Amino acid sequence: MIQYSLKCAEGHAFDSWFQSASAFDKLATAGMVACVVCGCTRVEKSMMAPRVRPSRSAAGEAGAVKQDAPKGGDLRTPASELEKAVAAMRREVESKADYVGLEFAAEARAMHNGESPERAIYGEARLDEAKKLVDEGVPVAPLPFRPQRKTN
């Protein structure tokens, strides 16, 4: 596993883990690496310092070596006011709306046409599907976060 410091075309910086350098290249080329802030898929590696741990013998000679926390602190907690607001919005959406996954476009269209009961939903749609919904007058809006997925 390798951790990269990344940045998107909009200038947002974030970190992510990959199985290997070639895995990152393959995923980035396929547009499967997205910015955690804006969802932009034009992502590239940014400058980063290597994290080198001293050998066990060197650490033992120097006494107890305290490992510093990564710069920026715990990545699971929001660091800025914007990240806190997005986290709060995520909690609100996930608690009050049904996740319909990749069926979002079909479900939103069915609700708009009266074929399905109206309720709050969220999910995923390709860009062309989302544009088609807007053109048809279906009231939809993009969310500033991606749905949480279980990964290995």
pLDDT tens-digit profile of 11-69?
898 888 888 888 999 998 898 899 888 888 999 988 776 667 777 766 555 555 445 54
- The residue range of the domain holding 24 is 2-46
Q: Which two tokens stand for residue 70?
A: 């990564």
Is residue 28 within 8 A of residue 44, CB to CB? The reply is yes
pLDDT over 50 at 75, yes or no: yes
What is the biggest distance separating any 2 CA atoms in the chain, rounded to whole angstroms? Answer: 73
57, part of any domain? no
Are residue 85 and residue 42 in the same domain, yes or no? Answer: no
Q: How many domains are there within the chain?
A: 2
146, part of any domain? no
- pTM over 0.75? The answer is no
pLDDT of amino acid 122: 93
What is the residue whose two structure tokens read 């109206």?
118
pLDDT of amino acid 65: 47
31, part of any domain? yes
Per mean pLDDT, which range of 1-10, 44-53, 89-98 is the poorest?
44-53
Paired sense of beta strands 43-45 and 2-8, if any: antiparallel
